[in-house]
Amino acid sequence: MKHFFNRKDSIVTEALDGFLATAGSGTLARLDGYPEVKVVLRADWDKMKVAVVSGGGAGHEPSHAGFVGAGMLTAAVSGEIFASPSVEAVLAAIRATTGPAGCLLIVKNYTGDRLNFGLAAEKARAEGFAVEMVIVGDDIALPDIAQPRGVAGTLFVHKIAGHLSETGHDLASVAASARAAAKDIVSLGISLSSCSLPGQTHEDRFGADDGELGLGIHGEPGVERIAMQSAGKLVTIMAERLAARLDAGSRYALLINNLGSVPPLEMSLIANAVLSSPLAKSVTMTMGPGHLMTALNMNGFSLSLIKLDTEREAALLAPVDPHAWLPAKPVRAPVVVVMAKPGSRNIKAASRNADAERLITAVCEKLISLEEALNGLDAKTGDGDTGSTVATGARGVLDRIDTLPLADKAATLAAIGDTLGTSMGGSSGVLLSIFFTAAAQALGGGAPLGKALIAGLDRMVFYGGAKIGDRTMVDALEPALKALDTGGLEAATGAARHGAEATAAMRKAKAGRSAYIGRQLDIADPGAFAVAEVFAAVAATFAPA
């Protein structure tokens, strides 16, 4: 796995400085103890309030520095990647932020964090600071373990304690609420790959068709290997285990956390799966989905829930300064707006016109007969489906010929445009639908047929972007329509043939899929070739006996 970094020993300090430089706020700062002391803190802090300090190893961004600000953390202490911060760094944070109101340390339940934050707390107390510590162990992956890990549910405690501090509560009440909250949080994670560390060789322990359930935020192995299956089934497994730890009848807040590299599309799908599971009946508000406490680039996610009461709900809903915090939102079913009906248009009834029917039939049958030839031409420059696409559109028109208002030229062109737009598919179908639709409007507005067809071409060129010389159907269609307008069908047929042949000599296509071929093509463009064949078929159909 590749990473962007300069030196292993400066990754964290450079990242923290980048964060501070782009935070857009003059209310954040760092202590000057780099590289040993890595502390981000509030520059606007009022020491008459309880300081709320947390932290841990780097690699969990935006945790923890991303949550420093009004309403959340007073300071965040960072270690190196996945390494606990030093005692000296934690102590420096306490000294910098703690006044008469005291300090609460929020610590995830890992041995290094407990020891280093704990020793710093004892030293701070010896210096006369009032310090309390709450330890969060929200991971339920191993239900019988005496010391469960602290994972993303810790963020609930950050938010609750930060709100209580901001609103003037004393240290005892902030600490008591934080401890009670920590006991009412459950979390569980799942991943399809392990994370990789910058500058270290990475060997993914996962198989091609499995993932891990219940893994930690430092890449620790999960409690069990789990076979790859649909997202809904994976979420169901997690939901069942989480639901078993919830109190029946209680309300919960749900935090949906991206562990690193799950695309936003998949995270929203996961959110939908969770809120469609039985777990949803207990959830009244959500945070996420998004990056909150990551594990570098782990391809996984975690779900955390906290039991709500009035105080916790108010705390979670309170606005905060840190942009990394994703505001709590009430659960809402998707709002579905009824689609507007098509604007009123005078739909003409089917009518007969022998010449129009002969013309349409000749064109469609010619295009259907060219299916294999056009696919062959397209296979040399694209995905070989031009013939099939064009033939599908032609069949669609033929299937509906008995419903067309053939006695009304404008209405017929509009109906053909509608048919090609829905049955033909691909960009060719859309372009031809634009052509016929715009031509119908011009014809209905009084333009003669030749001028109306040119008006349709103008709209097709405007939206499609291709022009003469770009090696597309326009190279045959434009000269043919102009010749038709001024010189009649025979002239149009010759112009179309000449335009199609010219595309074979064009060294480089400038539009369409052929534009991605970086060499001389030496074959006619399939769209231009089809246009020439259509004009030839029409000329043959209406040639004098």
pLDDT digit string, tens, across residues 143-159: 888 889 999 999 999 99
Q: Quick check: is 292 in a domain? A: yes
Average pLDDT over residues 361-379: 95
276 & 415 share domain: no
DSSP symbol at 69: S
> Are 306 and 184 spatial neighbours (Cβ–Cβ below 8 Å)?
yes
Report residue 520's pLDDT band, with 50, 70 and 90 as the boundaries. very low
> Are 79 and 85 spatial neighbours (Cβ–Cβ below 8 Å)?
yes
Q: Quick check: is 250 in a domain? A: yes
Average pLDDT over residues 96-100: 98
The dihedral formed by the CA atoms of 340, 343, 344 and 350, expressed in degrees to the nearest 10: -100
Q: Quick check: is 344 in a domain? A: no
Is the pLDDT reported for residue 63 higher than 70?
A: yes
Average pLDDT score over the chain? 93
Average pLDDT over residues 431-453: 96
519 & 425 share domain: yes
Domains held by the chain: number = 3
Average pLDDT over residues 326-349: 87
DSSP symbol at 515: G
Non-local (6+) Cβ contacts of 326 within 8 A are 287, 288, 290, 292
Distance between CA 116 and CA 55 in Å, rounded? Answer: 11
> Are 156 and 127 spatial neighbours (Cβ–Cβ below 8 Å)?
no
Beta bridge partners of 291: 258
Give the active site residue among 169, 218, 291, 323: 218
Distance between CA 42 and CA 29 in Å, rounded? Answer: 6
* Strand, helix or coil for residue 133: strand
Non-local (6+) Cβ contacts of 342 within 8 A are none
Q: Quick check: is 512 in a domain? A: yes
Non-local (6+) Cβ contacts of 90 within 8 A are 53, 55, 77, 105, 116, 117, 120, 121
Return the pLDDT at 507: 64
Non-local (6+) Cβ contacts of 131 within 8 A are 94, 98, 102, 103, 104, 105, 121, 124, 125
Q: Quick check: is 528 in a domain? A: yes
Of 330, 365, 391, the domain-final residue:
330
517 & 471 share domain: yes
Pairing assessment for the beta strands 75-81 and 103-108 based on DSSP bridges: unpaired
308 & 361 share domain: no
Six-digit token string for 51: 């300081």
Six-digit token string for 532: 């020439």
Six-digit token string for 430: 């859309």
More confident residue, 368 or 509: 368
Each as own residue / partner, the long-range contacts of residues 369-372 (CB below 8 Å, 24 or more positions apart, any chain) are 370/530, 370/533
Q: Residue 434 sits in which domain range?
A: 354-541
> Are 73 and 39 spatial neighbours (Cβ–Cβ below 8 Å)?
no
Output the domain CATH number for residue 276. Answer: 3.30.1180.20
Query: In three state form, how does the secondary structure of 27-58 look?
Result: CEEECCCCCCCCEEEECCCCCCCCEEEEEEEE
Q: Quick check: is 2 in a domain? A: no
320 & 359 share domain: no
Q: Is the bond leading into 289 cis (omega within 30 degrees of zero)? A: yes
Output the domain CATH number for residue 438. Answer: 1.25.40.340
Is the pLDDT reported for residue 62 higher than 90?
A: yes
Please list, residue by residue across 368-405, b when 16 or more beta carbons sit within 10 angstroms of its beta carbon and e when fewer do. bebbeebbebbeebbeebbbbbbbbbbbbbbeebeebb
167 & 191 share domain: no
Six-digit token string for 151: 């994972």
311 & 376 share domain: no
* Strand, helix or coil for residue 539: helix
Is the pLDDT reported for residue 169 higher than 60?
A: yes
237 & 162 share domain: no
Is the pLDDT reported for residue 516 higher than 50?
A: no
Report residue 545's pLDDT band, with 50, 70 and 90 as the boundaries. low
Q: Quick check: is 244 in a domain? A: yes
Report pLDDT digits (tens) over 265-289: 999 999 999 999 999 999 999 999 9
Distance between CA 147 and CA 14 in Å, rounded? Answer: 34
Average pLDDT over residues 87-99: 98
Output the domain CATH number for residue 55. Answer: 3.40.50.10440
163 is catalytic: no
Is the pLDDT reported for residue 1 higher than 80?
A: no
451 & 475 share domain: yes
Report pLDDT digits (tens) over 306-324: 999 999 999 999 999 999 9
CA-based nearest residue to 75, from 110, 109, 124, 128: 124
CB neighbour class for 462 (10 Å; exposed up to 12, middle 13-18, buried from 19)? exposed
Return the pLDDT at 27: 93
Q: Quick check: is 343 in a domain? A: no
Report residue 25's pLDDT band, with 50, 70 and 90 as the boundaries. confident
358 & 480 share domain: yes
434 & 386 share domain: yes
Distance between CA 162 and CA 69 in Å, rounded? Answer: 9
Is the pLDDT reported for residue 501 higher than 70?
A: yes
The vertex-137 CA angle with 135 and 140, nearest 5°, equals: 170
Neighbouring C-alpha atoms within 13 Å toward the C-beta of 54 = 31
CA-based nearest residue to 215, from 198, 185, 194, 230: 194
Return the pLDDT at 26: 86
| Global confidence as pTM | 0.81
Q: How many residues does the chain have?
A: 545
Return the pLDDT at 120: 98
319 & 359 share domain: no
> Are 185 and 252 spatial neighbours (Cβ–Cβ below 8 Å)?
no
